[in-house]
Structure 1
């Protein structure tokens, strides 16, 4: 990819808002005390987060195409949708297969969209986008993301509003890759205080059932397990606490926190990407409002009712 000069910032993303135009759209840098963050309009994404210069998420260069959904917002569905196909209100809908090797539609519609930078300040940024009716998803959802740094870390909220006069299937998640510092995934300990793990079909990574985590070979994740040699691309639920942490041997590291009442599931991926520079360099922690393939759940898809507004909140902090 050429490193030729980039075009001027498009209208709506002016220097007045503090943005810098890059190949990831407009990026905004935030700072509060020892905390720094960088946000990009492409996918409403978290690019970087540091404390005293130490990374808490695996940053990606905005001069390149964003790798592996790093830091993206996932909506109107997170995770995988089998065959990109679902039935809602008696109508069958077909979405593009964005994970063609597994015949799935992956991670929604907004993760590659260029969101609008609405406002920014020294330690805050707000961006928005609207999912307009389209083939496979003939619904209209307005999304607004807000990031805020405090002395404790980064808080990230997303508000979704169904702007249509009819119900819409809807789910949401985020996709940051957390890092406990130097080294790789093999050097860190992961703690997942969940009671249930979803059983998946290894050929398509879609859920086929559930199992109590205490009876799983991964049962020690509940109290903390060293990730050396452990490969995860699994979804957990029934959390006793809305927190997943990654720590170094000295017990310090990073925690993702959220409200399990609104976000009852969390996918964990150990970035197993052989022959990639991103192989096992971070752990994707993805708290989500619904399970994989939720649009095809036996009880029906999760929905937003007409004009319903719902807010979801995540936070990242040092431990």
Structure 2
């Protein structure tokens, strides 16, 4: 079923026991269910906006740019502040932008007899701007599989950059006669849930280090998690622990985060291979779940350069993550 809503076009996907709803605004995951059980905190996309960035696609930066400004190749850029309490620019430029729906896809079967689609691709041209003078072609592909659950792949291609040709207009830095590569980072924002209070659930997450932040949520140094409330490697009951931190020191290759709880003690599992993951205990959503945000770079990477992706004109980057329920 496809129809428009306050959150843009809505697309329903189904495969085996799994069903998902995607909203075109922000290429957003509205809900993901298996046998009727919520795997992420859902919201009513027909009548309401998501809370606390539920399900949004985050690019060309994840997390925050401290002070809503960044310096790149000796050029300073101002970006809109959308988190007044910290003065930061939060979660990129596409979270509230309407993507075009390219799919859905139904394995080549068309017409009235076609099954519910299991795949949809959403596409967006992010134009160059004063805040970010690079143009990106972005696609987000959601694919449901009866065994594998939900796989999401976000791709971005640098299609060119605007250079300054007028006084007061900030463009991309020029090096050796060509625009500098686009600084880039990407993430997602699902809230894993077991439909019981987060305090009652067990969280397992394999990171060895945590990034501390100051009162403005800007990076203030990494530390080892051993012996602290931020050590989730063995899996433990969340209880009253609160976190809104970026973690790193993750295993090479694909890693997993697991949230277990509820009467049936099943687990919802996320996998990715990004070098960072933000874990947020969901206070803004009543601690009904935990945000698990695999990130290609840490907070404020546009200023620090840490793990920042640099995309030359014509080159692309792909980012994949997966969610499923484990019995």
Partners in 1 of 2:242 and 2:223 — Cα distance? 18
Q: Residue 47 of structure 1 corresponds to which residue in structure 2?
A: 30
Q: Is the 8 A contact 2:101 2:123 kept in 1?
A: yes
Q: Residue 175 of structure 1 corresponds to which residue in structure 2?
A: 189
For structure 2, the 5+ residue unaligned runs are 106-116, 162-178
What do residues 194-231 of structure 1 show as CA deviations (whole Å, max 9, x unaligned)? 11111111x11221111112243322x11112111111
Deviation of 1:136 after TM superposition, in Å, equals 1.1
Q: What TM-score does the superposition give when structure 1 sets the normalisation length?
A: 0.88
Deviation of 1:251 after TM superposition, in Å, equals 4.4
Partners in 2 of 1:299 and 1:190 — Cα distance? 27
Within 5 Å, give how 1:114-133 maps onto structure 2: 114-121=98-105, 122-133=117-128
Partners in 2 of 1:229 and 1:213 — Cα distance? 17
Within 5 Å, give how 1:1-319 maps onto structure 2: 18-62=1-45, 63-121=47-105, 122-151=117-146, 152-164=148-160, 166=179, 167-180=181-194, 182-201=195-214, 203-219=215-231, 221-240=232-251, 242-248=255-261, 251-259=265-273, 263-273=274-284, 278-297=285-304, 301-319=308-326
Deviation of 1:300 after TM superposition, in Å, equals 8.5
| Count of residue correspondences | 292
Alpha-carbon RMSD across the aligned residues, in angstroms, is 1.5
Deviation of 1:89 after TM superposition, in Å, equals 2.2
Moved more, 250-259 or 19-28: 250-259
Partners in 2 of 1:247 and 1:71 — Cα distance? 20
What do residues 29-60 of structure 1 show as CA deviations (whole Å, max 9, x unaligned)? 00111110000001000000000000000111
For structure 1, the 5+ residue unaligned runs are 1-17
What do residues 55-79 of structure 1 show as CA deviations (whole Å, max 9, x unaligned)? 0001111111221100000000000
Partners in 1 of 2:307 and 2:119 — Cα distance? 37
Deviation of 1:299 after TM superposition, in Å, equals 5.6
Q: Is the 8 A contact 1:252 1:318 kept in 2?
A: yes
| Structure-2 change in CA distance of 1:150 and 1:94 (3 Å) | same
Q: Is the 8 A contact 1:295 1:302 kept in 2?
A: no
What do residues 1-38 of structure 1 show as CA deviations (whole Å, max 9, x unaligned)? xxxxxxxxxxxxxxxxx521011100000011111000
Q: Is the 8 A contact 2:203 2:237 kept in 1?
A: yes
Partners in 1 of 2:311 and 2:188 — Cα distance? 18
Look at both structures and tell me which one has the larger radius of gyration over its CA atoms.
2
Partners in 2 of 1:299 and 1:198 — Cα distance? 12
